[in-house]
Amino acid sequence: MNPVEPDPAAGAPRAASPPDNAIEPLSSAAFAAHPPSAPADPEPTAPIEAPPEPHAPPWPASATLHYEVEAQSRGLSHQARASLRWRAEADLYELELSVRALWLQRSQTSQGQMGPRGLRPLAFVDRGRRERQLTMEWHENGHGRAVRSEDGAAFALPPLTQDRLSLFAHLGLQLLRTEVTSGQRWSVSVAGFNAASMWTFEAVQRETLPLPSGPTPAWRLQRLDSGDPELTLWYAPELAGPLPVRVRLREPNGTVIDQSVRDVKIEPRS
C-alpha cells in the first residue's frame, strides 16, 4: 500500500539523484491559527475563551488488514498480497505495511506518538533490496526536522507532518473526527526522503466498494495535487477505523497499483 525511493525491483528507471516525487508508497515500489484576538476595549460580555483541545482520537489498540494487490504495468498484470498492521500502547504507535510476492518482499514501518491532533511520526523505515531510514525530531512549537540515516542530511518539517505511511492513518482520523461532506478538503504536509511538501485531499463521494470482503460503503478521497503519485484512498470507518480499505496509485511511468482489503481484524482500546 499506503510514498520512499522506488526499489530497483519496481522496474522504473533509476536516476542518479532521485527527486523527492520519486518517493512512493510501499506497494508502488513493488510494481510515495491563531485564536481570535481579544477586543481592544472589551465590553462587559462573556469572555472570549480559547478553543478547547480536541478529544483523544479513537485509535484502535491493534488492527490487521490483509489486501489483494493487482498491478498493471507495460501491458502485464501482476498479483500480490499485502498486510497493514497497527499497534498502539499508551501514547505510542507502530504501523507496518508489507507486501509479498514470489519475486519480492518489501516492508515499511512508521513509529511515533499519538496526540489529540493526530500522529507525530518519529521514525520511518523502508526495507527492500536496501534499507533507508528517516528520523523525525520535534520542537515545543510543533515544528521539527527530519534526518536521513544514510548521509545525515536534514530538512525542516511543518507541524503535523506525516511520513508516507503514517499519512494513511492520519487522514483516516480526520474522517473519524468530523461529519464528512462531499467536497471537504484536508491539506497535510508529507515527508519524503528529500523534503516535505503539502498534499491536499478531497472527499469526493461515499460509494459502495465491491471488496473481496463484501460490498462496503466507503468514502473516496482523491489527492488533488499535480505531483506524483496520483493517489486515491477509500475509508470505511465502521469496518477498519482510521485505516484505508482500498488504495489506488498511478505512477509517473503509467503503472497502476490497486489494493483492496480482503479481511480486517480490529481491537478497540479499552
Terminal-to-terminal C-alpha distance of the chain? 28
Q: Is residue 88 part of a domain?
A: yes
Q: Is residue 235 part of a domain?
A: yes
**Residue 181 maps to which CATH number?**
2.50.20
Instruction: Please compute the mean of the pLDDT values over residues 31-40 and round it to a whole number.
Output: 45
Give the pLDDT score at 38: 47
The total of structural domains in the chain comes to 1
Q: Is residue 126 part of a domain?
A: yes
> 106-110, 183-187, 266-270 — which is least confidently predicted?
266-270
DSSP 162: B
Give the pLDDT score at 189: 97
Q: Is residue 240 part of a domain?
A: yes
Q: Is residue 3 part of a domain?
A: no
Residue 270 has pLDDT above 90, yes or no: no
Tell me which amino acid residue 196 is: A
pLDDT in tens, 147-204: 999 999 999 999 999 999 999 999 999 899 889 999 999 999 999 999 999 999 999 9
Mean pLDDT of the chain: 82
- DSSP character string of the chain: ----PPPGGG-S---SS--GGG---HHHHH---PPPPPPSS--SSPPP-PPPPPPPP---SEEEEEEEEEEEETTEEEEEEEEEEEEEETTEEEEEEEEEETTEEEEEEEEEEEETTEEEEEEEEEESSSEEEEEEEE-TTS-EEEEETTT--EEEE-TT-B-TTHHHHHHHHHHHHS---TT-EEEEEEE-SS-EEEEEEEEEEEEEEEETTEEEEEEEEEE-SSSSSEEEEEE-HHHHTTSEEEEEEE-TTS-EEEEEEEEEEEE---
> 11-15, 75-79, 235-239, 251-255 — which is least confidently predicted?
11-15
Instruction: Please compute the mean of the pLDDT values over residues 113-128 and round it to a whole number.
Output: 93
Per-residue confidence at 106, pLDDT binned at 50, 70, 90? confident
CA gap 80, 259 in Å, rounded: 9
Residue 17 has pLDDT above 60, yes or no: no
pLDDT in tens, 58-104: 789 999 999 999 988 888 888 999 999 999 999 999 999 998 876 66
> Which candidate, 218, 210, 6, places its Cα nearest to that of 128?
6
- Name the residue with higher pLDDT: 9 or 202: 202
Domain extent for 258: 23-28+55-267
Q: Is residue 198 part of a domain?
A: yes
Q: Is residue 46 part of a domain?
A: no
Tell me which amino acid residue 171 is: L
Kindly give, in sequence order, each residue whose CB lies less than 8 Å from that of residue 9, ignoring residues fewer than 6 positions away. Answer: 29, 30, 103, 104, 106, 128, 129
Q: Is residue 47 part of a domain?
A: no
